[in-house]
Structure 1
Amino acid sequence: MTDYFGSCLCGTVRFEVKGEFDSFYLCHCQHCQKDTGSAHAANLFSNSAKLVWQSGADAVTSFALPGSRHNKSFCKLCGSALPNTQIAGLLVVPAGCLDTEITMLPTAHIFLSSKAAWDGELGEVPKFEGLPD
C-alpha cells in the first residue's frame, strides 16, 4: 500500500491518503474549467484509499453545484483545492495538492466536447523554466 501526503497552499491543511488510486482524469468540462480557472482539472480517484486529515480539517469546506454531481473541497483560508469525499464511496484528490510525487500517468482526457478553444495545439507555444523576462 502506498501513502501520499498533501497540503494546501498556505500549509494550514495537511492530509494523508492511504492506498492506491484507481484512475487519474484530466477533465475538460465547463464546471472544472470554472473551478480551476484553467483548461482542465487533474483529479485522482479511488474507491478504496482512505483520507486522513493531519491538520486543519476545520479549515476545509466544500461546494456542491446544485443540479449536478460537480463538487469540490477547498481551504477556507487560501482557496486551494483539496480532497473530497462528497460522493459516497469515492475519494477524489486534486493532483496538484499532493506533495508526494505521482508516478501514475493520466488515465484519460474526459469531456473533450467542452474543451477550451485555446487548449489546442500547445506544442508550438514557447516554453520557459520560470517566469519570462
Structure 2
Amino acid sequence: MSEKTYSGGCLCGTIRFEATGPAEKPHTCSCRFCQQHTGAPAAAWVEFPTERLQWTGAGGKPSTWRSSDYSSRAFCPACGSSIGAVDDEPVVALLIGGFDEPSDPDLAPQYHSFEDCRPGWLRVETAPSGEE
C-alpha cells in the first residue's frame, strides 16, 4: 500500500512541494509569529518530517528567514507567498492554504494553539477528535 501524497505551492508556482503522508498535527495557531508571517489572525498548519517532503518546483527550496532559535519562516522569493516554517527538529510545517486540495479531511485542524493571542472576535473551529 503506497502512502498518500499531498502537493501544493506558492501563488506564482515557482515553489512547489510534495509531501508523503500521514499528515501530522494539523492545527491552527494565533501566536504573533504566525499572525505576522501570514498577515492573518490565525494560521492553519500541518507538519511533515523533512525526509517526507520534496521541493519540486523550478524555484527549488523556498527562501527562509530565521524567526526564532528553533525555526525559520519559508516564503517564495518571487511572489512573496508564505509557505510554512522549517524547524530544526527537522520538521516542516506547511500552511494548509498552500495545498492543492486544502479541503482534504486529512488536513482538518485538530486543535488551536496560542489561544491567548487569538483576537476575541475570531471564532476558530477544529475537527472533532477522531474525525478525518
| TM interval, short-chain normalised | 0.7 to 0.9
Match of 1:41 in 2: 43
How many Å apart are 1:83 and its aligned residue?
4.3
Report Cα offsets for 1:17-45 as digits up to 9, x if no partner: 12211211100111111111111111101
The corresponding residue for 2:54 is: 52
1:64 corresponds in structure 2 to 66
**Counterpart for residue 34 of structure 2:** 32
TM-aligned CA deviation for residue 80 of structure 1: 1.0
Taking a change above 3 Å as real, the CA distance of residues 100 and 49 of structure 1, as seen in their structure-2 partners, is farther
Unaligned runs of 5+ in 1: 122-133
- C-alpha deviations, 1:87-128, integer Å up to 9, x for none? 22212111011103421221101101111243259xxxxxxx
- Residues 46 and 38 (structure 1), Cα distance of their counterparts in 2 relative to 1, 3 Å cut: same
**Distance in 2 between residues matched to 1:58 and 1:49, nearest whole Å:** 15
**TM-score normalized with structure 2 length:** 0.78
Task: Name the Cα RMSD after superposition.
Answer: 2.3
Correspondence for 2:130: none
* Alignment map for 1:116-127 (pairs within 5 Å): 116-120=119-123
Mapped to 1, the partners of 2:36 and 2:15 lie a distance apart of 23
Share of identical aligned residues, percent? Answer: 27
Instruction: Check the 8 A contact 1:18/1:49 in 2, yes or no.
Output: no
Deviates more, 1:5-14 or 1:44-53: 44-53
2:91 — aligned with what?
90
TM-score, structure 1 normalization = 0.77
- Could you tell me how far 1:74 is from its partner in structure 2? 0.6
Match of 1:114 among 109, 113, 117: 117
- Could you list the runs of 5+ residues in structure 2 that have no partner in the other structure? 125-132
The CA deviation string for residues 61-81 of structure 1, in whole angstroms up to 9 with x for no partner, is: 011124x54531010011112
Q: Which moved more, 1:108-117 or 1:76-85?
A: 76-85
Instruction: Give SS of 2:56's match.
Output: strand
Q: Which amino acid aligns with 1:23?
A: K
Matched positions, count: 120
Specify the structure having the higher radius of gyration (Cα): 1
